[in-house]
Chains A and B, each alone.
Chain A
C-alpha cells in the first residue's frame, strides 16, 4: 500500500484533536503549552504534506513551516517566562488558582 495524501492529513487531524483535548482539559499551564505545541506540529505536518504531494517542485510550504517553528519558539519562550512569573507570585501553576481578578 502506497501512502496517499489523505493518510498524512488524517494523522494530523487526529494529532490536532488530541491537542485540542489537552488544551481544554489540562489544569496545568505547562500542560496547556505542551498541547499547543502538539497542535502546531499537526499544522506543520499538513503544510509539509501538501507541499510534497501537490507542489513537489516548490518549497513554499517548507518555508512556512520554518516560520511556524520560529513563532512557536517565541511563543514558548514568552509563555514559559510568564509561567515562572506567575509561579513566583501565587506559588502555583494550576489555572483555577489564577483568580486574583475575581473581585
Chain B
C-alpha cells in the first residue's frame, strides 16, 4: 500500500504531462490543418505568399550556404580520416553525399530556418496578438488564420525543400573543398561516387523530411505567437516566452520527427 502511494505522485504527474503533450500536439495539428486548407480558399493571397517566401526563403539563402559549406567541409574531414584507415578514401563522395541528402540537409536547414525565420515569426505574431492587431482583424471580418497564418504555411512548404536542395549542393562542394582540394582525394572519384551512391529514394526521402519539417516549424512558430495571450505572463515577457518555446519545441520536434521518419524510410 505504502509503495503505491510513493509511486502514485510521480505517475500522476507523468500522466498529466503526457495528456497535456498529446493535447498540444492535437491542437497544433488542427491549427496547421486550418492554416493549410485556408491557403487554398479563393481568392488566393499570392502577394502575401510572395512576401513570406522572400522572408523565409530568400533571406535565409546566405545563412544556409554558410552552414552548408562548413557542414560539408567537416563531413569531408571526418570522412577522410575515418576512411583513410581502411584505405578507401575514394568512398568519401558517397559518405558525404548520403549523409547530406538523407540527414544533414533537411535537419540543419530546418534548424537554421527556425533560428532565422521561425523565431521572428513567433515574435511578430505574438506582438500582433498582444497589441490587439489580431483582434482588430477579427472585428473587420478578416479571418486572422487566413490572413496571417496561411501565407506563412504556404511559403514554408515551398521554401523548405528548395533550401534543403541548396544545402545539399553547397554541402557537397564543401566536402569537395576539404576532401579533394585540401586532403587530395581524387575529385573525379569524389563526384562519381557521390553520384552513383545517391539514389532517387534518398532524394525523395530527404525532400519528404523537409516538407514535414516545414509543417512542424511553421505550425509551432505561428501557434506559439498566435496564442501568446493565453500565457500566464503578459506583454513583452509573454512574447519572449513564446519565441523561446517556439524555437525549443520546434528544434526538439524536428529531431524526434527525423528519427521517426528515418525509421519508416529505411
Instruction: Decide whether A and B assemble into one complex.
Output: no
B: residues with CB less than 8 A from A are none
On A, residues with C-beta under 8 Å from B are none
